[in-house]
Amino acid sequence: MNPHLRQIFTELIASSQEEELHGGSRRDLELSALESKITVCVGVRRCGKSTLMQQQFQALAERGIPRENMLMLNFADERLANMGNEGWNELYETYYSMYPQKRRKEKVYFCFDEIQMHPHWELFVERLRREENCEIYITGSSAAMLSREIHTALRGRSLSWELFPFSFGEYLERRGIPRSGYGTSRKLAVQNAWSTYREEGGFPEAYGIAPNWRIRLHQDYFDALLYRDVVERYNISQPLVLKQLARRMLGSIGAQLSINKLSNDFRSSGISISKETIQQYIAWLEDAYFLFCIPACSASASERFRLMRKVYCIDHAMVKSLCGTFSELQGQMLENMVFLSLRRNTPEVYYYKTQAGHEVDFLAVHPSTHEKLLVQVCARMDAPETRQRELRAMTAAMAETGLNKSIIVTESETGEINTTQGNITLIAAPEYLSRQNAGFDY
């Protein structure tokens, strides 16, 4: 027994019981707990995982569950920094010494926030699940750390969910604006919200603050994510190189990623870093939900092998805060938003390259129905050469994939285009991004 650690857990548990539950803005993600399964929620830092858990526990309280039957602990608390392996048993025993009448008799609801920060958490969680009458929720900011440990100690005993920063549809609801409907007042409200969302992005704490503070907030998020989720976790010896790499990739949103070019750029700057190290750094940035690198889905097998991946970021406004004006990249910002709307719905998002070399921004596959969806992003379609180029790529992709419908997301243009391959729907970005299903119902 460690008296000092026992005292810390006693204080944390007591303060957790006294903390008032709050609902916050509702999210599209609904966590569904199954009997004997551990519920896992992962996502980038500060996207709202803790608030989502608060909502989950508030729903329990509304069902009449006593507050002392609910325990929420944040393992990012500095008092737990050096708790060691013995801390898991101390936590277990401390709670049940405070509430001995609940042991194995009453269902207890545990939520462990950022639990992946401490080693061997999966063994503790599995023992708790196996030996006690409880429902367990865990959150984390690293897909790799959680998934690797889940697939070992927790294999078959957990269900995982991903949470992203606010979508535009969630942003509308947060502001009390219906996602769909008619009328001049709603149209003006949506237009105003769209302008604001483009600037503020999806992180909850970025809403309603001055632009200079929002930039500082995003930069702080970036530094915390970089150093706590990547540098410290993987003991990186060149943190400044990692930071430069991350910023260079942000400047290439929607572009194909060339490891050779990145390596040459670093070399020309006097920095020696291998291609293998660059690839590893990128993988860790993906694990932390900061970047997404999507592969090509080509009609040609040899072409699929040759083509490079394309880069997107967890939040379009964060890119703007970290990269400066970004005014010349408005199309890339819109493309990033459309990518995230698809990625919230399915992990299978690709870009498509036709046999003739024409590119469609996205081909997404529905996770349950396996339905395919082609989506192109083009801010403006009024120039004849632009319209011809986009329709040529889309009709070729439809022919090669066997699809008879597709979507082009624009800034404001709407309509239907009938082609020999099928129907192409033009939809304005605010309407498209307010939908929860990313267009799979078209």
> What share of the chain in percent tops pLDDT 90?
74
Categorise residue 357: left if φ over 0, alpha if ψ from -120 to 50, beta otherwise.
Answer: left
| Residue entry with tokens 């938003």 | 337
Report, as ranges of residue numbers, the positions in the chain whose pLDDT lies below 70: 1, 145, 151, 299-305, 325-329
Identify the pLDDT of residue 325: 59
Edge-to-edge strand list for the sheet holding 422-428: 296-298, 349-353, 359-365, 372-377, 405-410, 422-428, 415-419
Angstrom distance (rounded) from CA 420 to CA 203: 42
Identify the pLDDT of residue 30: 87
In this structure, what token pair is assigned to residue 372?
């395919």
Q: How far is CA 8 from CA 15, 79, 80, 121, in A?
A: 11, 7, 8, 18
The length of the chain is: 442
Residue 193 and residue 207 in contact, taking contact as beta carbons nearer than 8 Å: no
In this structure, what token pair is assigned to residue 416?
């239907």
Q: What is the largest CA-CA distance in the chain?
A: 76
Concatenated DSSP letters for 28-73? S------TT-EEEEE-STTSSHHHHHHHHHHHHHHTT--GGGEEEE
Identify the pLDDT of residue 328: 57
Residue 318 and residue 326 in contact, taking contact as beta carbons nearer than 8 Å: no
Identify the pLDDT of residue 223: 96
Q: Which structural domains are found in the chain, ordered by start?
A: 3-163 (3.40.50.300)
Query: For the chain, how big is the Rg over CA atoms in Å?
Result: 24
Residue 218 and residue 206 in contact, taking contact as beta carbons nearer than 8 Å: yes
Identify the pLDDT of residue 302: 67
Identify the pLDDT of residue 110: 96
User: What's the predicted TM-score (pTM) here?
Assistant: 0.93
Identify the pLDDT of residue 145: 67
In this structure, what token pair is assigned to residue 35?
């009997």
- DSSP class of residue 116? G
Using DSSP's 3-state secondary structure scheme, residue 270 falls into coil
Angstrom distance (rounded) from CA 187 to CA 413: 15
Cα angle for residues 426, 420, 440 (degrees, 5° grid) = 40
Angstrom distance (rounded) from CA 375 to CA 440: 10
Up-side HSE of residue 78: CA atoms within 13 Å toward CB?
Answer: 0
Residue 358 and residue 351 in contact, taking contact as beta carbons nearer than 8 Å: no
